[in-house]
Amino acid sequence: MRGAVTGATVVAAVLATALTLVPPALAAPPSPTPPPAGGSPAPQDPADEAGSLVARIATARAALDRLTADLGRRQELANRALADDTTARRAADDARRAAEESRRGADAAAAAAERARAEVDAWITAWFQQADVLGPLSVLSGSSGPDDVAARAHLRDVVTADQRAALDGAERARIEAANADSRARAARIAADEAAARAAAARVAADAELTRVRTDTDAAQAQLRELTAQRDAAEARLRSLEDADPALAAQRDRAEAFDAAATARETARDARVRRAATAGLEARAARAGTDDDPLADAGISTDGLSDEVRTVLERALSQLGVVYAWGGGDAEGPTKGIRDGGVADAHGDYDKTGFDCSGLMIYAFAAAGKDLPHYSGYQADAGQRVALEDRRPGDLLFWADDDGAGPVHHVALYLGGDQMVEAPESGKTVRIASVRFDDEIVPTVTRLV
C-alpha cells in the first residue's frame, strides 16, 4: 500500500498522536475504586466495566490503525525509490546499448573511410602509371586517326571523372567517420552519466529502505505495547462476558452478526471473482457470457466500454489474493519484498500477492498501459479529472497533508462509490466503500 511521509520525525509525531488517543486507563490497569472509610472496596458493576473496556478496545484499535497506516506510508515512499531505481537502471541499459550501437556505426564508418582512401590511392597509382598513355601529348601521338584520338580523350575524361568521384567519396567517408566517432564519444559519455544516475538511484533506494527499517524499528515497540493493551482489555471483557449470561448473550449476538456479515462479503467476493474470471476468459475467446461481476457486486454497468470492463474484471478476478508489499506486475501476483518493518512482520517477502500499485499494474496491463510501481507516479500517468466527475475505471488516490502531499495509496473505482484495492499488509484484495476522508486526492486519474 501506501506512500510517503517526510522522515522519522513525522513518524515520531504520528506515534505521539496515536498515544494521545489512548486514555490513561489503557496505558495501565484501572485503579480499584477507593474503599469507603472502614469498609472493603466497592465492587464495580460488570456492565459498567464492560462498557469501559469496549471503549478502551475501540480506542486502542484506532491507535493501532493510525500507527499501521503511517508505517504503510513509509512503505510506499520506499516503493517510489525502488521505482526510480528501476527507471534509472532501464535508462542506463538503454544508454549503454545506444553507445555500443553508435560505436559499431563509428567503426563501420571508419572502415568505409579507409576503403575509400585505399581506392583513391589505387587511382593515383594508376594515374601515374598510365600518364604516358592518357596525358595530352599521348592522346595525339601514335594515333591511327581522328576516331582513335576521340576514343583516347574520352577514356581520359572517364578516368578523371572517376578519380574525382573517388576523391569526393573519400572525403565524405572521412567526414562521416569523424562525425560518427563524435557521436559515439557523446553516447559513451551519456551512458556513463546514466550509469552514474542509476548508481545514485540505487543508493537512494537503499537509503529509503533503511529509513523505513529505522522508523519501523522505533515504532514496533509501540505497536507491540498497544497490541498487548488491546489484547488484555479484550481478555478481561471476555471473562466478564463469560461470567454474566446477559453480557454473554449480547456478545454472542454481536459475534453472530459479524460472522454473518463476513460470510456475506466472502460469498459475494467469491461470486464476483468467478464472474470476473469468466468474463476475461470469454473476452479472450471472443465469446459471450452472462456473467457480470460488477452487477453481481451491485454496481451499474451501463455505458461501460469493453476496455474499462476488462480492466475492472482483471482487478476483481484477484479478490482474496493476499497483500504483499512490492508484489504484482503485468502478469499477476508476485513474491513480495523485504522492507525491514511492517511488511516483514507480516511475512510479505514470503507471500505471492499484490500491493496497491502492483494491483493497478496488473489491471491496466489489459488495456496496454505500462504503469510504474509507485502510486504517486501512477497519479501522473493519465488525464486528471475532478473527483466529483469520477467514473468506473478511474484511479483514486490518498495523500498526506489533506490530499495535497505525497500520495500513499491507490485504488480502482468501480462505480456506486465502491472500489477495489489491495489495502495493507495482513489483508487481502477486497471491495470497499470509497473513503471520502481528508486524505483523498480531489482528482482522479483516467487512463481508459
Render pLDDT for 145-189 as a digit per residue (tens, 0 to 9): 566 556 655 555 655 676 667 677 777 878 887 887 888 788 888
Looking at residue 19, what is its pLDDT? 35
Q: Which of 110, 107, 136, 88 is nearest to 372 (CA)?
A: 88
Cα–Cα distance list, 219 to 16, 232, 323, 355, 409 (Å): 11, 20, 21, 21, 21
The answer for residues whose C-beta is within 8 angstroms of residue 158's C-beta and 6 or more apart is none
Q: Which candidate in 346, 373, 408, 409 is catalytic?
A: 409
Q: Which candidate in 76, 208, 421, 439 is catalytic?
A: 421
Q: Residue range 285-314: average pLDDT?
A: 77
- Give the position of cell 519501523: 216
Domain ranges of the chain: 1-29+45-129+175-243, 306-446
CA 430 to chain centre: 19
Fold entry, domain 306-446: endopeptidase fold (from Nostoc punctiforme) (3.90.1720)
Task: Say if residue 371's pLDDT is above 90.
Answer: yes
Query: Does the active-site annotation cover 154?
Result: no
Task: Say if residue 41's pLDDT is above 70.
Answer: no
Give the lowest-confidence range in 82-91, 107-116, 257-266, 284-293.
284-293
Q: How many CB atoms lie within 10 A of CB 32?
A: 10
Looking at residue 404, what is its pLDDT? 77
DSSP string, 380-403: TSSEEEEGGG--TTPEEEEEHHHH
Looking at residue 136, what is its pLDDT? 53
Please write the tens of the pLDDT for every residue from 388-435. Answer: 999 999 999 999 887 778 898 999 999 989 999 999 888 999 999 999
Strand partners for 421: 430
Please write the tens of the pLDDT for every residue from 223-278. Answer: 777 788 888 888 888 888 888 887 788 878 888 888 888 888 888 888 888 888 88
Strand partners for 343: none
Q: How many CB atoms lie within 10 A of CB 281?
A: 14
Query: Does the active-site annotation cover 409?
Result: yes
The answer for residues whose C-beta is within 8 angstroms of residue 383's C-beta and 6 or more apart is 445, 446, 447
Query: Does the active-site annotation cover 356?
Result: yes
Distance between CA atoms of residues 233 and 263, nearest Å: 27
Looking at residue 381, what is its pLDDT? 94
Q: Which candidate in 176, 208, 313, 356 is catalytic?
A: 356
Looking at residue 218, what is its pLDDT? 64
Mean pLDDT of the chain: 76
